[in-house]
A and B are shown apart, each in its own frame.
Chain A
Amino acid sequence: MYDPTVARLTYRALLGRRRALILGALPLLLLVITVAVRALAGADDQTTADVLGGFALATMVPIIGVIAGTGAIGPEIDDGSVVYLLSKPIKRPTIIFTKLIVAIAVTMVFSAVPTLIAGLILNGNGQQIAVAYTIAALVASIAYAALFLLLGTVSRHAVVFGLVYALVWEALFGSLVPGARTLSVQQWSLAVAQKVADGNLVTSDVGLPTATVLLVAVTVLATWYAGQKLRTLTLAGEE
């Protein structure tokens, strides 16, 4: 199910030149903000939860997920070079699974690790907040990567749709319509984080069992459907 060559090629495509630059810029910005906040406000649990929840988990993780998830397959389909990969005797689901593993790994490294460091800088893991948000970021990475990888195989405008989901649905509708929060990866991962954190600083609108079931279901279904989609892929020309 895992093909090292495909993985190596995907890593190279994802971390090559400018893409790595933007992937690296976001965590760097988080750390800069963290240091600034710490200097401005001192160690404070509420502030930590605000920064990690408001910036790291709500903005940074989805955007890194979009870049890594769609970037793992989108450009190849876009410029047509995916036919060389598809013509090799490798199963299509294997290709998707390998690319998913790579996308998850990249998203985790670039989102969960900075979150942990930021949490440690902000309040030294008081009330387990840093660890809780890191786990939320890890869980969210898996779901986001699977979701956006599927988008990359389905649509040529995967990045736009991914961003619409991440920004408009989760941020805008999520804050206005309470029902939208039930269908948001962010809330599902927060439900997991809530279990880990001590106090009541980390809260979610979704119960843990529901969240777990939905997370697993979305990840598995998205991966399976992406594999199916790749089996019947038609290459479209540039519009």
Chain B
Amino acid sequence: MATEHPTATVPGDQTRIHNIGYRSYDGPRLGRAYARRSLYSQSLRGAYGLGRSAKSKVLPMLLFVVMCLPAGIMVAVAVATKANELPLDYTRYAIVLQAVISLYVASQAPQSVSRDLRFKTVPLYFSRPIETADYVRAKYAALASALFILTAAPLLVLYVGALLAELDFADQTEGFAQGLVSVALLSLLFAGLGLVVASVTPRRGFGIAAVIAVLTITYGAVSTLQAIADVQDSSGAVAWIGLFSPITLIDGVQSAFLGATSAFPGGAGPSNAEGVVYVLVTLGLIAGTYGLLMRRYKKVGL
């Protein structure tokens, strides 16, 4: 500031460009697959609050513990009483604790996508080599994996506990495998629904409420209608009504094909033919949510 530069310099031969040695990068590039993998692992870690502040670890970890605690108690009871089988089927576990799963999806799905929208970081992602499909796949896979960890961990606790209690090996393994298939379906379905709803709004709080509304309200409505249909002796309607909420959908699939006892009123799960419809609707919903997400991110924040 102190020295005064002569502003009107002499035009002509005094201007020049110095070469100060900048070089362009010509080493190996990690590319699209690497970016996708990074996005996946970061999102998965983020779903449990790893790599984020201590405060945001509290809720997912708490829900994880709440999810596993009953399994531990059941194993303890089964060992102590020398029971012949576990107090709860592998396939029933997720259905009983569905409120915890819903809360987890509702809290983590907006965390995963809403903040990117709110702080307008999505265009930054797409300035890297990844494309829409990569972003959607990475986020979908991350949330589904996180949910699978949440729902499969207590099953693992049950299984290990059952083997330690020297219950029948073949029987337990079959039940465990069926349980894993069912929670894998559940994870895919819930992750898709949660992400679709959350990706519509940049507001986290509102996203949480909307996801919970979709998951819980539909269940409340469906179970109320089922109870009434059961009382009114129109049991045929019970199975069809179950198609309209995610958790009863999973319940129907597993009671038709995975040897589970249904939680429907009257214990009347869908028959095989109805079960096929259940499977089709479930797969259709998973594919549909994926398609909707792709459409949502075709043009975003630009």
Q: What are the interface flags for A6-39 relative to B under an 8 Å C-beta threshold, 1 for contact and 0 otherwise?
A: 0000000000001100100110010001001100
Interface residue? B129 (CB, 8 A): no
Query: Cβ of B224 and Cβ of A54 under 8 Å apart?
Result: yes
Among listed B20-28, B208-216, B247-255, interface-contacting one: B208-216
Bound together, the chains give a CA A57 to CA B104 distance in angstroms of 24
CB of A163 within 8 A of CB of B227, answer no
Give the contact stretch, choosing among B156-164, B169-177, B229-237, B293-301: B229-237
Q: Is the CB of A167 within 8 A of B99?
A: yes
- Least CB distance from A60 to B in Å reads 8
Out of A41, A54, A163, A238, name the residue touching B220 (CB < 8 Å): A54
Could you tell me how many residues of chain B have their Cβ less than 8 Å away from some Cβ of chain A? Answer: 38
The residue of chain B having its C-beta at the shortest distance from the C-beta of A158 within the complex is B205
Interface contact B227-A59, CB-CB below 8 Å? no
Within 8 A of B (CB), among A147-172: 157-160, 163-164, 167-168, 171-172
Closest to B210 in A: A22
* Complex CA distance for A182 and B228, rounded to whole angstroms: 27
Partner of B59, one of A67, A75, A160: A160
Chain B residues closer than 8 Å to A3, beta-carbon distance = none
The answer to the question of A70 belonging to the interface, with a C-beta cut-off of 8 Å to chain B, is: yes
Q: Is A70's CB under 8 angstroms from B205's CB?
A: yes
Asked whether, in the complex, the Cβ of B232 is within 8 Å of the Cβ of A40, the reply is yes
Contact A50 B228 (CB under 8 A): yes
Partner-binding segment picked from B49-57, B82-90, B182-190: B49-57
A74 contacts partner chain B, Cβ-Cβ < 8 Å: yes
- Contact residues of A: prevailing secondary structure: helix
Taking a contact as CB atoms under 8 Å apart, the answer to whether A160 and B107 are in contact is yes
* Also in contact, A159 and B209, with CB within 8 A (given A164-B103, A167-B216): yes
Contact of B212 (CB < 8 Å), options: A47, A54, A167? A167
A55 to B102, CA, bound (A): 18
With A47-B231, A171-B99: A33-B224 Cβ-Cβ less than 8 Å: yes
Chain B interface helix/strand/loop/mixed: helix
Residues of B within 8 A of A164 (CB): 103
Could you tell me the distance in whole angstroms from the C-beta of A137 to the nearest C-beta in chain B? 15
| Residues in chain B near residue A66, CB distance under 8 A | 209
Once the chains bind, are A40 and B234 in contact (CB under 8 Å)?
A: yes
* A136 CB-CB contact with B under 8 Å: no
User: Could you tell me the distance in whole angstroms from the C-beta of A29 to the nearest C-beta in chain B?
Assistant: 6
Within 8 A of A (CB), among B22-58: 52-53, 55-56
- Within 8 Å by CB of A160, from B52, B200, B201, B208, lies B208
- B203 interface contact, C-beta 8 A: yes
Nearest A residue to B222 via CB reads: A33
Is the C-beta of B106 less than 8 angstroms from some C-beta in chain A? yes
B237 touches A40 (CB 8 A): yes
Closest Cβ of chain B to A237, distance in Å, is 11
Contact indicator B208/A159 (Cβ below 8 Å): yes
A202 interface residue per 8 A CB criterion: no
A22 touches B225 (CB 8 A): no
Known contacts A158-B205, A159-B205, A160-B208; A40 and B229 CB within 8 A of each other: yes
Interface membership of chain B positions 85-115, coded 1 if the CB is closer than 8 angstroms to chain A and 0 otherwise: 0000000000000011011001100000001
A22 to B52, CA, bound (A): 30
Inter-chain CA distance A26–B216, complex, in Å, is 11
Query: How close is B229's CB to chain A, nearest CB, in angstroms?
Result: 7
**Complex alpha-carbon distance, A59 and B215, angstroms:** 12
Residues of A within 8 A of B (CB): 18-19, 22, 25-26, 29, 33, 36-37, 40-41, 46-47, 50-51, 54-55, 58-60, 63, 66-67, 70-71, 74-75, 78, 157-160, 163-164, 167-168, 171-172, 238-239
A-B contact pairs, 19 of them (CB 8 A): A18-B206, A22-B210, A25-B213, A33-B224, A50-B228, A54-B223, A59-B217, A63-B213, A63-B216, A63-B217, A78-B203, A157-B59, A159-B206, A159-B208, A160-B59, A160-B208, A163-B212, A167-B216, A171-B99
| 4 residue pairs, one from A and one from B, having the closest CB atoms | A59-B220, A159-B205, A239-B53, A55-B224
